[in-house]
Amino acid sequence: MATDKTYTAESFRVLEGLEPVRLRPGMYIGSTTSRGLHHLIWEIVDNAVDEALAGFCKTVAVELLPDDVVQVVDDGRGIPVDIHKETGLSALDIVFTKLHGGAKFGGSGYKVTGGLHGVGAAVTNALSLWLEAEIKRDGYLWAARYEQGLPVEPVTKVAALEKAATTGTTVRWRFDPSVFEPDVRYSYTAVEARLREKAFLVQGLKFVLRWPGHPEKVFVSQNGIADYVREIDANGERTPVHQNVVRLVSEESADPQFAKAPVSVEVALQWTAWNGKTDEAERVHSFANVIPTTDGGTHVEGLKAALTSVMNRYAYEAGRLKQDKKESFHPKDIWEGLTAAVSVKLVEPQFEGQTKNKLNNSEAKSAVQTFVYSALSEWLRDRHVKKDAEAILERCIEARASRLARGRADTKRKKGVFDESPLPGKLNDCLESRPVEDRELFIVEGDSALGTAGDARDKTFQAVLPIRGKILNVLGAANDRIWKNTEIESILIAMGGKKEAVGKRVVASLEPRERRYGKIVILTDADTDGAHIANLLLTMAYELFPSLVLEGRVFLARPPLFKINLDARGEKFVYAYDEAERAGLVKRHNRKGEDVSRFKGLGEMPWENLKSTCFDPATRKLQQVAMEDVPESVEALNLIMGNGPVAASKRKSWLEEVGLEVPA
């Protein structure tokens, strides 16, 4: 045990060079899983994108070579190779071996950049078995090689370039397997999605992707984030209510106060038809200097303020709202059904934390608010998009009418005018002696599971609701079809929600004060059908009850597939959750085939086993459904559960790549 006498100066260690990165890689790339592995690519690609933002790069090529070697090539200026006077090192060595070193600290190198800390390329180098850089500039081809972050030979002049040769940077590397988890792998789907997104954010920049087993792909956008928004809604099976995406770009403005402003703003807006959600989660995708800001920030605040002001003014001018009667839109009326993207570029972005998830610059809010108010007002008055403008206004009017009707219905409900909706007949409810936050609703697969789950649960705080078969895939389904579905209606009512007709809509509500349970637990059989049903329920949860998912109230229970007896009496045993784990446990414990029993389903599982693995808080392992990156999570949901030919084609490609490796 340590004592105060052992805590001396000798207890301290000063980490040099790239040691901190290799010692604590998660601090720099998020994790040592496949997600962190891809971060090595993003860092090098983002450096090339910064060259494009500076006006010196037109093409970025990403290629996977044999033995998991990644190569990124750009046609920018090429990283400088001359000697830095203060350090005596080549600028190239500084970029790849020094943390917080580079040309992105407000000097003459870059005006706008997503890399603020000068650590990106060095991190990729530090976590690689080896890395090679080739630079074309100053009339020569230069080369350098590093191993585990350390230079193994000085920067070398290889050959003279032809007079017409272009400049640029090539970086190739092999990740260090000792740093990452054993099963990490590069994903074509993940790289393709990231390059596609970057192409939307940097208009005119061409990305080339070369990957074994796939045809070469080129991504380039001439309409910027307007194309991004259009694709999001197409993949998400949403129906736009207007033909043209609203595209507002400050640098293309005829007004010099916007065209030459220090903060450039790009906004894309598309309203979609009502899809039946109980609460409308915001679908705004925001970026600062081409970096996704998943938690929003001041630029999103500016967009919200501008949209509400503009739409109120437009409604007054069109005579759809009466200002003298104090009629107005609530911000929720504008954001319902809206898919929006906002991208700003500024010289000194200020992010909240090292992850850059939220923008804090106050000037970004005023820049976005001022520009969008002016540009959107002008767009709505343009006679060429008159039908689009009227459709957008009608969508907002419809949302306002539904909000007011829900409010009136809620007032009547509080006064007792409406009877409480009867609970579903098959619901085995819990006692109401515990607070709502402590209660749990288990949604189980079929009536046969109800019996076993009913015996396994703790009736004081755990309720069980069976559903029949595979429920409707709500992704892209029509509003009336969703709420006519018996199983979905049962889940809504069991949770404490209600539905009613409001005009042409069927409106469902699940207000926080109406909720009857603090946790929703999805419990299905441990087979492929069970996995499919769980996916359908997860899709339903996010599409219809997004606040429950975002608040972390939805969980997956994972029942075992096998029970392996460790003694003749079966008093000692272990569980296995898939075939591979079963084989490993049988070998480890030297058991035979007769010692293994397979659970055919929840209905045939002894209630004691189900209780210990799924219901007992002391022994169960519930998996919380979380969304670390909302746009990425939504994209994954659309990939797996989306309907239509576009979604089907993408899903086929994904299954061909990783389908056989994904556990059931």
C-beta of residue 345 within 8 angstroms of C-beta of residue 281: no
The span from the CA of 481 to the CA of 641, in Å, is: 17
Token pair belonging to 363:
């000037």
Strand pairing partners for 63?
A: 71, 210
Instruction: Report CA Rg, the chain.
Output: 29
**Local structure of residue 471 (DSSP, 8 states):** P
C-beta of residue 510 within 8 angstroms of C-beta of residue 497: yes
Largest CA distance in the chain: 87
CA dihedral 119, 122, 127, 131 (to 10 degrees): 150
> Which residues are part of the catalytic machinery?
445, 525, 527, 529
Q: What are the helix (H) ranges across 496-567?
A: 528-544, 546-550
Alpha-carbon distance values, 349 to 115, 358, 393 (Å): 10, 10, 34
C-beta of residue 172 within 8 angstroms of C-beta of residue 69: yes
Q: If we measure between CA atoms, which residue out of 226, 284, 196, 238 comes closest to residue 642?
A: 238
CA dihedral 403, 406, 407, 413 (to 10 degrees): -170
DSSP-based three-state secondary structure for 375: helix
The span from the CA of 207 to the CA of 44, in Å, is: 13
User: 625 phi and psi, to 5 degrees?
Assistant: -85, 115
Strand pairing partners for 445?
A: 467
**Local structure of residue 614 (DSSP, 8 states):** I
Token pair belonging to 147:
């191993």
Which residue has 């789950």 as its token pair? 453
C-beta of residue 171 within 8 angstroms of C-beta of residue 44: yes
- Go through 333-348 and write b for each residue having 16 or more CB atoms within 10 A of its CB, e for each that does not: bbbbbbbbbbbbbbee
CA dihedral (163, 165, 169, 173) positive or negative: negative
DSSP-based three-state secondary structure for 210: strand
List all residues 6 or more positions away from 477 whose beta carbon is below 8 Å from its beta carbon: 275, 276
- Identify residue 287 by its one-letter amino acid code: F
Strand runs (DSSP E) across 364-497, as ranges? 440-445, 462-467
